[in-house]
Structure 1
Amino acid sequence: MTINIGETVFFGAGRFLRIGAAIILLGIAACSSTNAPGPVAAGMGPKDTGTFPNLNIKPQVAAPQFTEAERNAKLAQLKADENAQGAKGGGPKVTDQAALKDLAKKHGGETLKQIEGKCDPALDPTCK
């Protein structure tokens, strides 16, 4: 008999009753914990509470916007800096992919031996 009652309360229709009771209790707790004042009168507008942000005042701009001439001058300066950096050899180097794959095939095993501690003294004189 006890098993049937426990099954009904915890697994059957009692589950829905517990969920409903929890929702009601949470709703009551939420309604009783609000400290909001009564409704605002219809004739009253927004108030300045002195807190940030005040959405009734248009924000000030921090700095004047670039003009087209200033924008073009700054872009030209950036392009000149980019070209100067590329002339120094700082640009990306294009290499032959086939040569890189061939290098990986030849030196991959040796590199793995050194990494794993099974190095070859002929390749690495510091290897013991």
Structure 2
Amino acid sequence: VLLEYKTKECEMYAKAAKPTIFRGYRVNLAGCPRAYRSEVGNLISMQDCDFAAVYWYDYYSKEWLISFRASKECPYDLSEITSQLPNGGGHPKAAGFTIYEQNGENLHTYFAAYIDLTVSEN
């Protein structure tokens, strides 16, 4: 029952993913709880995009934590892409980095064309 509930929640977060651009890559971006980042990222990486980006915000540290996920067919090495970013790194198909709000950065700093952080009523 718990696994079924988690699966439905992950599907809900994945369905809310929005297309955006990250440094020239076509990325589907979704917000979700940190515990769901792998599952949600894997789901949206299979949509029409170069790779997936999942974010969550840590209110205590005032940091945006970004997690990238790529499908098996993705030709890009996500660890190379994130290695040049703040606190970035990972593996070829799963990597991430941190956006530090205290440096004046937010999602707008890195992601273009999406960035409506409000929840749609539709």
> By the TM > 0.5 criterion, same fold?
no
| Greater RCO structure (CA 8 Å; 6+ sep) | 2
TM class by smaller structure:
under 0.3
Structure with the bigger percentage of helix: 1
Report the TM-score, using the length of structure 2 for normalisation.
0.17
